[in-house]
Amino acid sequence: MKKLAVWGLGACIVFAFASCKSSESAYKKAYEKAKQQELAEPQPTETVVEVITPVVTAPVETKKVTESSQGVRQEKVTVVSGSNDSLKDYSVICGSFGLKANAEGLRDFLINEGYSPIIVFNPDAAMYRVAVSTFTDRSAAANARDTFKARYPNRKDFQGSWLLYRIY
């Protein structure tokens, strides 16, 4: 009985090795075939000449942008963190986040730096904005934005600070 089991096991091993395909992978064969075809194809010797045709355009209408609207985004926002009375018309925004927790993390950093930031929410864009400071006039807000950027020259995220005009 043991001999029969040993012979059966031996026969299985022989069949297993006999049925194995070559050790060369199908990927390697396909790669080599594509490489041979690439080498067999003649390379184009023609020079391609690009023909440029003139394009006639319509006159461009320019919009006159007033200084008060230039560089300021207008959004309808609501106060999420901070006093609703403390949010004025113009705010210096130093961060915009889709998650409230990220906005709160930046707010905590700014509090440690000596600021009194406010988190506002824009429901149209579904974004939480972190306002470093808020002002009633644009020029004071622009000066505060520039001062804030100058204080943190190595922070690329703060270099993108912008002004927000609150729409009621």
> What is the reported pLDDT for 57?
60
Domain ranges, ordered by start, for the chain: 72-166
Report which of 112, 117, 69, 114 is spatially closest to residue 91, judged by C-alpha positions: 117
Beta strands in the chain (DSSP E): 72-75, 78-81, 90-97, 118-122, 127-135, 162-166
Q: Assess whether pLDDT exceeds 50 at residue 37.
A: yes
Q: Is the pLDDT of residue 52 over 80?
A: no
pLDDT in the model for residue 21 = 58
73 vs 26, more confident: 73
Q: pLDDT at position 66, please?
A: 40
Q: What is the mean pLDDT of residues 95-99?
A: 94
Q: What is the pLDDT of residue 71?
A: 74
CATH number among 1.10.3680.10, 3.40.630.10, 3.40.50.1100, 3.30.70.1070, domain 72-166: 3.30.70.1070
Contacts of 166 (CB under 8 A, 6+ apart): 75, 76, 77, 87, 88, 89, 90, 91
Better pLDDT: 5 or 87: 87
Report the pLDDT averaged over residues 115-121.
94
Q: Percent of the chain beyond pLDDT 70?
A: 76
